[in-house]
Amino acid sequence: MFIQERQQRVLILLGILLLAVALRFLAIDGRGLWTDEVFSFDFARLSSLAIMTAAANDVHPPLYFLLLHFWMEIFGGSELSLRSLSVVFSVTSVYLVYRLGLVIFNKETAFIAALLLAVSKFSVVYAQEVRMYSVLLCFALLSSYFLFAWLQQQKTKHLVLYSVSSVLLLYTHVYALFIVCAQVIFVLSKFLFFGNSNRQLVRSWSLGMVAIGTLYIPWGLVLLSQMQSVGGDRAYLISWIKEPTLLNLAGVIASHAGGKWLLPLFLVLSAVGIVSCLTKESFGAGTSRLRLTEPDILKGIYFLCLVIVFSVIVPFIISKMRSPVFMDRYTIGALFAFCLLAALGLTRIRPKYFKIGVVTLVVMMSLYSWYSNHYLKRRLEGAREVIAQLTQQFAPNDIVVLCGGVGRIKEFMYYADKAGLSEKPLISILDDGTGHQQRQEILKRGAYKVSAGWISNIEELGEEYGRLWLVSAGDHCSTERATLEREHAAAQIMEYGGKFVVSTYPAL
């Protein structure tokens, strides 16, 4: 009987994992790499030492870029291979939320939480990006799982694994600090208020925290330096983040739920789970005091609430009181807490057929949210499609003038390199005068640099080259394009997903 039940659990979990894999690989290359993804690619193709140096001059820790570096050495730098690393960590997270659900709740809650995470639009979106967010979620789950395993079994190996996974978490993203803080508050609360602690347990925990702190010192010093400099010469690294409003906070919570239509349902389910457990524990409805080796539902709820507060609410408050650092994707490390609380609420629904109906409704709404708000938008055109056009129509004596922000330029150059277009000495990049280091590095790659006043010397360009391809990102070069339109009618003008405008002018 036990073997049969175990086989059923394995089959159910395998089905959930296969669903997660299918959703994350579906149309994974439907859209070209965007700015942040190309930045990840540029970091990862550096040497390991250079990655550490570059990360110190950025805002993100180096672990993800190092992982991507070695991943690229094995699988290459195509869109599919680059994004597949995030898929691996995202699918692993689905398995880990199941394991964490078993530790702090029960197998029914664990299965439902895994299913919710498998179909979560928030998870699927960032599983298809060449960024560290799926890794952040995975290590947050791994660290939390080993924390509860150690608290329940008090085995040294679990404490060691917790310490290692926490260090990996901290070297993945700065928001990992909020998750570790939630864990620390939880353990301290347990020692001070929940009882069941002893000196040996406190001593072991202290040693683990000392180990984590010691191993984080190298990057902690870098982080302090970054915090001091982002208000000065490196302010542009976070200047694009705007001060959040309460509406933004609601939007972030909705992202965790899977969309604005799922938000009320997730909130109600979480409230049902919390209230039902509080009521049951308070009045002793058929349960005895839980031992340390058994799942403690109330402590689990308390921990999940701490994770949400520290990962979502605290960054929001910091952004209101000091510098804005609040972004929805940065909070993805708390996604498992939302899934587990909603799953707990679903398990409290009676009768059984009604519970199955609600679970089905939540899954279908999540899939629809993913399909309508993400899958259909994966076909937006961008730099990849621009390069495809240039590759087909580019003549030997043509010249390309590319202008835009550094991000759009990097997108263009990634696909230009792939197509061999950057090998030609005709790729020209317009310096719009921002002049920060990343832009200058890109400009050095062009064999022919056009100055900011190139439009006044357009006739000289025409003498040396044939057709002119003006590739502009957004509103960049709008004045120059208008000037060209007055004097030289464009042969064709193409727009690509609102990102790029390509104007082709005959020999001038």
CB-based contact 49:143 (threshold 8 Å): no
Whether the pLDDT of residue 233 is over 60: the answer is no
Rounded distance, CA 92 to CA 142, Å?
10
Whether the pLDDT of residue 497 is over 50: the answer is yes
Using CA atoms, how far residue 195 sits from 199, 201, 319, 387, 394, in Å, is 12, 12, 36, 64, 73
- Tell me the Cα Rg of the chain: 26
Query: What is the residue whose two structure tokens read 């990655």?
Result: 51
Q: pLDDT for 160-198, tens place per residue?
A: 999 999 999 999 999 999 999 999 999 999 888 766 567
The reported pTM is: 0.89
Identity at 226, one-letter amino acid code: Q
Helices assigned H by DSSP within 171-287: 176-189, 199-229, 246-257, 263-283
Who's near 332: CB < 8 A, 6+ residues apart?
A: 122, 123, 126, 133, 134, 136, 137
Rounded distance, CA 342 to CA 272, Å?
9
Q: What is the pLDDT of residue 7?
A: 86
Q: What is the pLDDT of residue 295?
A: 46
CB-count burial class (<10 Å; 0-12, 13-18, 19+) for 88? middle
Query: What is the residue whose two structure tokens read 């959040």?
Result: 244
Kindly provide the residue ranges of all beta strands, DSSP E only, lying in 306-416, ordered along the sequence.
399-403
Q: What is the pLDDT of residue 361?
A: 93
Rounded distance, CA 447 to CA 443, Å?
9
Both tokens of 235, joined, read 């302010």
| Torsion angle of the four alpha carbons 90, 93, 98, 104, in this order, in degrees rounded to the nearest 10 | -150
> What is the rounded average pLDDT for all residues in the chain?
83
Domain boundaries along the sequence of the chain: 2-227+237-378, 383-505
Rounded distance, CA 131 to CA 235, Å?
21
Q: pLDDT for 289-342, tens place per residue?
A: 333 334 478 889 999 999 999 999 999 999 998 888 899 999 999 999 999 999
pLDDT band at 278 (very low <50, low <70, confident <90, very high): confident
pLDDT band at 436 (very low <50, low <70, confident <90, very high): very low
Chosen CATH of 383-505 out of 3.40.50, 3.30.160, 3.30.70, 1.10.10: 3.40.50
Distance between first and last Cα of the chain: 83
Q: Which has the higher per-residue pLDDT, 356 or 428?
A: 356
